[in-house]
Amino acid sequence: MILYVLGLLLVPVLFGVVLGWYGLDPPQAERLAPVGSEAHQLLNGFPDDRLVVEIAAPPGEGPTGASVGLLWMRMNETLSKMSISFEVETIHSTATSFTTADLWNLEAATRTTWPGPGQMSLFYLFVPGSYAGDSSVIGLAYFGSSIAVFPATIAAAGGSAAVTSTVMIHEFGHELGLVGIVGSAPNEDPAHPYHSADPNDVMYWAVDTTAILSGLLGGGPPTQFGSADLQDLSTVRSTVIVLEVLPCVVLAAVFGGALAVVVYHRRAHRRGSPPLPSTSK
Ligand SMILES: [Zn+2]
């Protein structure tokens, strides 16, 4: 009887897990999710406690070890993941100008790791050409876990590996919902939506384009998130999303209910048992 009840209770458990962990953001939908919409899942260690960062680049055009190391450091400072690992892919393309659709097509043909249960992923595409929409663009977050970097545009404008580091961290910041995609964003520059007005903040508005190389930054390319950014990330990270905690709530309710059934069953059994037969010698 008890096993039968426990078997029946598995149904809501499975329902809760599926609705919470898959229903919140199905892996398929995460592929084309808007920039910043994955912020909570990226920042939190639950339910996705791993992050895989995939970097795809033409031969010899990927980021330096120092750029990847700095990005990894900023990720560790902002995300609550158990593990953050990097994978590298090589791409080959003869195109020289890329629309957002072209970026997506190249990504879809290259990317091997996607967000899924227990794991988030970020994809950096080092594009072998320039951005068709604006040839001054050096970095672009174009979907919720998809980032493009344009190394040829950076090099043509006289940029260095330090600029690449800044762009990689800046676009990562957009995927975390900065500036003002989520959060209160008191540092947002009214003249440049979703960007900081502070040139010492890696989310400064000039970082997306070659404007970063036009002498605006006396102290060099910024690589740190500003205090307002970090406050917003902290708020978003600690926000409770009902669907994310639903599996835990359902599990607690089901096992609490099962325990109550067992206790009730045993008490009823004790109350209903006949008195012990008297023995006589
Ligand atoms: Zn930007």
CA of 273 to the centre of ligand 1 (A): 74
Q: What is the C-alpha separation between 78 and 37, in angstroms, rounded?
A: 16
CA of 181 to the centre of ligand 1 (A): 11
CA of 137 to the centre of ligand 1 (A): 10
pTM flag (> 0.85)? no
CA of 194 to the centre of ligand 1 (A): 7
Range of weakest confidence among 11-20, 101-110, 191-200: 11-20
CA of 152 to the centre of ligand 1 (A): 18
CA of 166 to the centre of ligand 1 (A): 11
Q: Which residues contact 229 (CB under 8 A, 6 or more apart)?
A: 173, 178, 179, 187, 196, 201, 202, 203
CA of 271 to the centre of ligand 1 (A): 70
CA of 131 to the centre of ligand 1 (A): 14
CA of 23 to the centre of ligand 1 (A): 30
Region for 36 from its dihedrals, namely left if φ exceeds 0, alpha if ψ lies in -120 to 50, beta otherwise? left
Q: Which residues contact 66 (CB under 8 A, 6 or more apart)?
A: 161, 165
281 has pLDDT over 60: no
Confidence tier at 249 by pLDDT (50, 70, 90): confident
pLDDT cut 90: percent of the chain above it: 56
| Helices of type H across the chain | 2-17, 27-31, 39-43, 65-78, 100-110, 151-156, 161-175, 227-238, 242-272
Average the pLDDT over 118-138 and give the result: 94
pLDDT at 271: 73
Asked if residues 130 and 152 have their Cβ atoms less than 8 Å apart, the reply is yes
57 has pLDDT over 70: yes
Phi and psi at residue 230, to the nearest 5°: -65, -35
Sketch out the chain's domains with CATH numbers: 32-238 (3.40.390.10)
CA of 230 to the centre of ligand 1 (A): 16
pLDDT in tens, 200-225: 999 999 999 888 887 666 667 899 99
Average the pLDDT over 250-279 and give the result: 75
117 has pLDDT over 60: yes
CA of 172 to the centre of ligand 1 (A): 9
CA of 202 to the centre of ligand 1 (A): 9
